Amino acid sequence: MRTQFRLMEFDEGGVQETPKSLRLVCCFAPNGKVAIWGSKRNHVNIDAVKNRGLPCTIECDCIEPQDWAKDMGHDFWVPEGNSLRVMAD
């Protein structure tokens, strides 16, 4: 699903790393969370948001997360290989 989010703040203190992945969870207006996924090899989408800073608006291809992530409050995921573009404000 192609959509836009107005990112307002970082959740979880910024980028989190696991043995298999990187994630940047951001709170979006009015009241939701989107997790942007990457890896040590491919963190282009994470870097785009971090380098722009918040608040910012992104346009991305996202999916609904797995059930366990909904318990963490994630409303949407941007998988590592999906398109993400930071919009001009």
Q: What is the pLDDT of residues 17-41, one digit of tens each?
A: 999 999 999 999 999 999 999 999 9
pLDDT per residue as tens digits for the range 58-89: 999 999 998 888 888 999 999 999 999 999 87
Q: What is the C-alpha R_g of the chain?
A: 12
Q: What is the mean pLDDT of residues 39-67?
A: 96
Judge if the upstream peptide bond of residue 79 is cis by omega within 30 degrees of 0: no
CA distance 8 to 78: 16
Per-domain residue ranges of the chain = 2-86
Q: Which two tokens stand for residue 9?
A: 């703040």
Distance of CA 79 to the CA centre of its chain: 9
Closest listed residue to residue 7, CA positions, set 57, 76, 49: 57
Q: What's this model's pTM, rounded to 2 decimal places?
A: 0.94
